[in-house]
Structure 1
């Protein structure tokens, strides 16, 4: 669905935030995110973390209220906060090998709502400052959007289809990650779940890339070879012996260098056409100060991931074949 076909989407750079919304952006988010920093460091707690950890509580409230005005969104997002209690860790540990345990975890996850599964060794760069994750492994689960629903974003009081699908996938991420954590605990190993939409200790996109679930897109979100940008993530950390999946490069990063779809579709013009230095790494970056006022007013937006060519089921196979012919699929993917 193009921006011209969706009456809820203003054309690029025609959007002007409401003065009362803009007034809540009291501190630029780009320095907090580490834009321009040349030294590698862990990310700082940010939007969707508890409000005592960042200066955006009022903007978060606007975003929540905006999305909750959309038909059906309230129950969809409330379901994302409904999860089972973690069961006690079994006293007797499974004697299965790391390969067998990895296969068992994958089988369990994919049969309990997850659409993709990857494993990466824990890196402290995956953990927000002020938080601690002690387990040596992280499993990342991917939950695919329904494309026909996602392309209806942004939502408003007249049409909540898109934002409801976002809430639905977060809810699936909660159920699948807590379910997997409990399965691991039943094998005698420790495990903790990290779903969205609220943020916690774990940054999800970097380990997802390391685990082979996709590449970082120009719009700052993961691009999956199976689902494009229409995917949400959930994580599980554990001390259960596992086998790393390894990253996978299929051409999304190279494609983003010349593609202009998301940059042209973004109403506030927040998506940069060039990579930038962020916390010591050159990577795609979205201007927080331009993005978040529209995000807050437009019920969580989602335009860039819906418009991404990789998200379109009829286009994605052609893109994969094209990038394979160009020979860009060899080598490991980087989250930089």
Structure 2
């Protein structure tokens, strides 16, 4: 096996001095067999609200100033600060299928690469949060592979920030489109935690399956994309969940596991708040993440993320499943 050039990793003492006595894995519910809602463990809008708040603040000072990162953050902030249009007119009466079909125009225009619609599930809300809307539209925007492939260099971190900005712009565009038709709509953007954790609804509405690296794997986009959402009561038709056999693939694959500098990716699924799933060790991952512009190695090296590879892998898994069923 090729030697990992990023191992061994030793966190900087000044960072570790800021870590709380409470494990992020405990906050996330690692090892728990009973269901409970998630809690915000990082990227809180107000860092004072979470135990790891001092570490979150340190993230922004950990690396030398970079023009490419500053430009990416400034561009994202412009998008986040842009006002939403007011709701205008009476609510439009459209068939649910027509509402959902209308989302295709945003993909065709390059606003985003993928859309889906899920029925809002309270299990996706962070502890203490409430939402009244019945529908959650999920939007996906793909990283530029040339940028994310440079992880853990600053260019990869800047690419992530650019796509978070683009995802926010997509959410605002879709929300504005719905508002112009007389329906309330609220964008859900990242990376700062809001009311909803977006990975479970994205899986529920057909974006793909959870991979060993803790990110969704999708045949078209690989693991290299960011999410945003829109909450609304407009009667969109739901989009179905899709399965490709990712569990079996990830069980046999060790690429991200071997590439992870702090060895945070486990070889097997684990119990987390009542669900057995792939999980990345928060306490191991975070120090390296903080010291390398947000890392991104695991999604960059994922075989599904390489351009043109995902669809062929999905077809191969489908043929394998068909032979097994036959």
- Same-fold call, TM > 0.5? yes
Per-residue displacement from partner, 1:220-244 (whole Å, max 9, x unpaired)? 1111111111111111111000111
Contact 2:47 / 2:57 at 8 angstroms: preserved in 1?
no
Tell me if 1:209 matches 2:203.
Answer: yes
CA RMSD between the two structures: 1.9
Q: After TM superposition, list the pairs within 5 Å mapping 1:11-160 onto structure 2.
A: 11=7, 14-26=8-20, 27-49=22-44, 50-66=46-62, 69-83=65-79, 84-108=82-106, 110-111=108-109, 113-155=111-153, 160=154
Cα gap change, 1:47/1:3 in structure 2, threshold over 3 Å: closer, same or farther?
farther
How far apart in 2 are the matches of 1:167 and 1:218?
Answer: 23
Contact 1:43 / 1:128 at 8 angstroms: preserved in 2?
yes
Q: What stretches of structure 1 of length at least 5 have no aligned partner?
A: 331-336
Cα gap change, 1:25/1:284 in structure 2, threshold over 3 Å: closer, same or farther?
same
Q: Which residue of 1 aligns with 2:261?
A: 267
Q: Identify the range of structure 1 (266-275 vs 127-136) with the bigger mean alpha-carbon deviation.
A: 127-136
Shift in Å, 1:99: 1.0
Shift in Å, 1:250: 1.3
Cα gap change, 1:284/1:320 in structure 2, threshold over 3 Å: closer, same or farther?
same
Cα gap change, 1:203/1:306 in structure 2, threshold over 3 Å: closer, same or farther?
same
Shift in Å, 1:252: 2.0
How far apart in 2 are the matches of 1:67 and 1:86?
Answer: 34
TM-score by length of 1: 0.90
Shift in Å, 1:113: 1.3
Q: Which residue of 1 aligns with 2:237?
A: 243
Shift in Å, 1:325: 1.1
Per-residue displacement from partner, 1:143-171 (whole Å, max 9, x unpaired)? 0011111110112xxxx321121111111
Aligned structure 1 segments of 4 or more residues deviating by more than 6 angstroms: none
Shift in Å, 1:329: 12
Contact 1:109 / 1:176 at 8 angstroms: preserved in 2?
no
